[in-house]
Amino acid sequence: MTLSAENRTRYLAAFEQVRGNGKRKPLWLRRLRDEALDRFLETGFPSLKHEDWKYTSMALLEKGEFERTAQEAEEPSAAEIDGLLPAGSARHVLVFLNGIYRPKLSRRLPLPAGAHLGSLAEALAGEIDGLVPYFSRSAGSAFTDLNTMLMEDGGFLHLGKHARIEEPVHFLFLASGGGRPVMSHPRNLIIAGEDSRVTVVEHFACIGASGYFVNASTDMVAGRNSVVAHYTVQEDGPGAIHVATLRARQEAGSRLAVHSASLGALLSRNDVHAVLDGEGAECLLNGLYLGNGAQHVDHFTTIDHAKPSGVSREYFHGILDDKARGVFRGRVVVRKDAQKTDARQTNRNLLLSGESEADSRPQLEIHADDVKCTHGATVGPLDEEKIFYMRSRGIDEASAKGLLTYAFGDDILKRFELPDLRRILERKLLAWLPEAHRVREFLRETGN
Amino acid sequence: MNENPMLSIENLHVAIDGKPILRGIHLSVRAGEVHAIMGPNGSGKSTLANVIAGREQFVVKEGSVRYEGNDLLEMPPEDRAREGIFLAFQHPVEIPGVTNQNFLKAALNAVRKHRGQQELDAVEFREMVHERIRLVEMDEELLSRAVNDGFSGGEKKRNEILQLAVLEPKLAILDETDSGLDIDALKVVAGGVNRLRSPKRAIVVVTHYQRLLNYIVPDFVHVLSEGQIVRSGGPELAQELEERGYGWLHAEETTYGEGARP
């Protein structure tokens, strides 16, 4: 039990506000919240003793006096929002300020037939009982419970059979507290029907906020033969605590790509749980995490092969500098029925300083006998041989190191299939590097 | 022939992890000359090549290396490269994520900048590489791949000689460039090197076998054993080694003398 009496009171009060804030809510939702509350009050925040949390302390949350913000937050300007979005190509943009949908800040495009895109609050107000089965019951996850009991809004996307949205759907979650320790619990629901196609970006950033807490939770279903791409861009403020959970269920023949770039926040934890629940489903998890200063960045992924002939690929690269710490745990489960599964996992960590640290824990649980499963993990500094090779060709040491570091990170970003988003992230990676100007010069020289 | 040697090594002692590898090397190389350094495994040939290129794991205990009159040991590897020293690696390094042509262009422009020459633009660079790549009969497709990433042994060695041809060094050191090459590839690589021979350029060929020296005929051959040059001579010395092997080196108390150098 790690929930102080003070926090118990604080989160209970927030719960009362959310549950009783006027709008008529369906009964099933009240039940869902009540159940989540009961579980959360019993378990509290996970401690280091919990197996899934042994490398990541959430003690900062215990100390924080986070509050749900009922007051009007500082409104970002249109220019501030433009500055955060990839320029150029068309996209559906839904802006959430401290977790609440802001239509006026959003940019909406026409949708094809069979597609519904909006805020979760609207969807819930419409009493769509059909949504009930899609919400995670989340046994065992304190943060999903916390999200369920406090969720008010988020992105809601529903694609019927054959529906295809060409432009990316961009959910922009902005924290704005003007110095107050705000918290938000965005809840997203993405239901992609049979043979549908969509690309969704979850983007976390802040406007004039620092010590805040965001706890996002996304439930997703990728229907039969659907093609779904999901991106997370996490550039929360330097003092922020970021927790995000994605739970996806894939039906037969579906192709799901989950890309992520974790750049910001003081403490972040990202859980991805994908179940390949139909024959021949394909799943790609592709993530880059950067940490410097005192940042702590944790990814916990589970790929659950429940049916035969599934393919999963997982690539995570971490670059850690100063006193930053990276944690990667990658579970791959192959169930008894999931014959002919082909699963590969790679996690590589680059340590740029003597005090940075990385923990990499692959975890394979294989219950079928006719499967191909591989995993590899590395933790270490840049390869001296590569540095010497470059220097021996006239490239100075700092540029050589910068280039190798950039290439290491770009290995992941190159798989991002949205070109404008990839370019933005490549620029951010570049700007993050020590000696960024030298690498920039090199890339400009060579016309990259 | 130039009066002053381009490279002048005197009494060079080098250790790795406290273990002495080179134990008093004397060697001078003039522009236009091709020197072969031969010797059995573990004799210190590769160490000598790498010390000249500036590998930092090697600790120089004693002696001096001068290049064009300057103290080479004081210079970081990148400055050596910019001043015209090139080492063709025995085991070329793979650099995923950096394309071969970008790497080559960055290296070339770093060298040109240092020499006060205009940097090449994309078109000029492409033309130059297109011309030089024919020297080593290398597939142009390899230019757009990451440096040496997934290259075969032969492709890696050709790529080294392509870099040599593009960077146009004054002193080229080939470290076991023949290892892992079949005879056809060896002829191509040697042919490329021969076309790069010039009165202004010195070439040092480090090899275990005499085979390569049938194609790149040296002016001088030095035999290295246990960290010392035990014999120096003309190309016929390589032939003698081919016939007699390296075994006799230990039996015969041959001493190195200044007189062996022309």
Quickly tell me which residue has 């215990």 as its tokens: A62
Quickly tell me which residue has 């040296």 as its tokens: B218
pLDDT tens-place string over residues A43-55: 999 989 888 999 9
**% of chain B with per-residue pLDDT over 90:** 76
- What architecture is domain B7-260? 3-Layer(aba) Sandwich (3.40)
Residue A364: per-residue pLDDT: 96
B106 to chain A, closest Cα gap in Å: 7
> In this model, does residue B255 exceed pLDDT 50?
no
Q: Cβ of A447 and B56 within 8 Å?
A: no
B187 to chain A, closest Cα gap in Å: 25
Domain boundaries, chain B: 7-260
Whole-number Å distance between alpha carbons of A15 and B134: 73
- In the numeric block, which tokens belong to residue B76? 């970081």
Q: Is-contact A389 B55, C-beta < 8 A?
A: no
- In the numeric block, which tokens belong to residue B9? 């090594």
Collapsed DSSP state (helix, strand, coil) of residue A191: strand
Whole-number Å distance between alpha carbons of A422 and A400: 23
What average pLDDT does range A150-166 have in this prediction? 95
Residue B262: per-residue pLDDT: 40
Whole-number Å distance between alpha carbons of B29 and B84: 14
Contacts of A404 in chain B (CB under 8 A): 95, 97-98
**% of chain A with per-residue pLDDT over 90:** 78
> In this model, does residue B203 exceed pLDDT 90?
yes
A-to-B residue pairs, Cβ atoms closer than 8 angstroms: 82
B58 to chain A, closest Cα gap in Å: 13
Cα R_g (chain B), whole angstroms: 18
Q: Which of A306-315, B49-58, B125-134 has the highest mean pLDDT?
A: A306-315
Whole-number Å distance between alpha carbons of B116 and B246: 46
Whole-number Å distance between alpha carbons of A182 and A210: 9
A312 to chain B, closest Cα gap in Å: 23
Give the residue, A123 or B72, on which the prediction is more confident. Answer: B72
> In this model, does residue B257 exceed pLDDT 70?
no
All residues at 6 or more sequence positions from B131 whose CB lies less than 8 Å from its CB, including other chains: none
What average pLDDT does range B163-186 have in this prediction? 94
Residue A444: per-residue pLDDT: 66
Identify the band that residue A139 occupies on the pLDDT scale cut at 50, 70 and 90.
low
CB burial of A133-158 (b: ≥16 within 10 Å; e: otherwise) equals ebbbebeebbbbbbbbbbbbbbbbbb
State the Cα torsion B90-B95-B98-B102 to the nearest 10°: -10
Distances (CA, A) of B56 to A184, A220, A384, B67, B192: 53, 53, 10, 18, 30
Give the residue, B97 or A235, on which the prediction is more confident. Answer: A235
> In this model, does residue A126 exceed pLDDT 60?
yes
Give the residue, A292 or A210, on which the prediction is more confident. Answer: A292
Q: Cβ of B106 and A445 within 8 Å?
A: yes
Give the residue, B34 or B56, on which the prediction is more confident. Answer: B34
Cα B233–B235–B236 angle (5° rounding)?
A: 85
pLDDT tens-place string over residues B61-88: 999 999 999 999 999 999 999 999 999 9
pTM of the predicted structure, to 2 decimals = 0.91
Contacts of B163 in chain A (CB under 8 A): 393
Question: Between β-strands B220-225 and B228-233, what pairing exists: parallel, antiparallel or unpaired?
Answer: antiparallel
Q: Give the closest residue to B101 by CA, choosing from B133, B69, B73.
A: B133
State the Cα torsion B210-B216-B221-B225 to the nearest 10°: -40
Of A396, A445, A448, the CB nearest to B78: A396
pLDDT tens-place string over residues A169-220: 999 999 987 778 999 999 999 999 999 999 999 999 998 878 899 999 999 9
User: Is B165's Cβ below 8 Å from some Cβ in A?
Assistant: no
Q: Is-contact B209 B178, C-beta < 8 A?
A: yes
Identify the band that residue B258 occupies on the pLDDT scale cut at 50, 70 and 90.
very low
Whole-number Å distance between alpha carbons of B15 and A68: 65
DSSP-assigned letters across all residues of B188-227: HHHHHHHHT--TT-EEEEEESSSGGGGTS--SEEEEEETT
* Average pLDDT of chain A, as a whole number: 92
Tell me how far apart the terminal alpha carbons of chain A are, to the nearest angstrom.
Answer: 53
Quickly tell me which residue has 């022309």 as its tokens: B262
Q: Which conformational region is residue B137 in: left (phi greater than 0), alpha (psi within -120 to 50 degrees), or beta?
A: left
- In the numeric block, which tokens belong to residue A332? 């791959």
ipTM for this prediction: 0.93
Residue A180: per-residue pLDDT: 84
The number of residues making up chain A comes to 448
- In the numeric block, which tokens belong to residue B50? 């790498």
> In this model, does residue A355 exceed pLDDT 90?
yes
Residue A22: per-residue pLDDT: 52
Give the residue, A440 or A113, on which the prediction is more confident. Answer: A113
User: Is B120's Cβ below 8 Å from some Cβ in A?
Assistant: no
* Average pLDDT of chain B, as a whole number: 90
Residue A411: count of CB within 10 angstroms of its CB: 18
Whole-number Å distance between alpha carbons of B108 and B96: 19
Residue A108: per-residue pLDDT: 94
Whole-number Å distance between alpha carbons of B68 and A169: 63
- In the numeric block, which tokens belong to residue A334? 């192959």
Residue A438: per-residue pLDDT: 81
pLDDT tens-place string over residues A77-95: 989 999 999 887 899 999 9
Contacts of A392 in chain B (CB under 8 A): 53-54, 77-78, 80-81, 86-87, 89
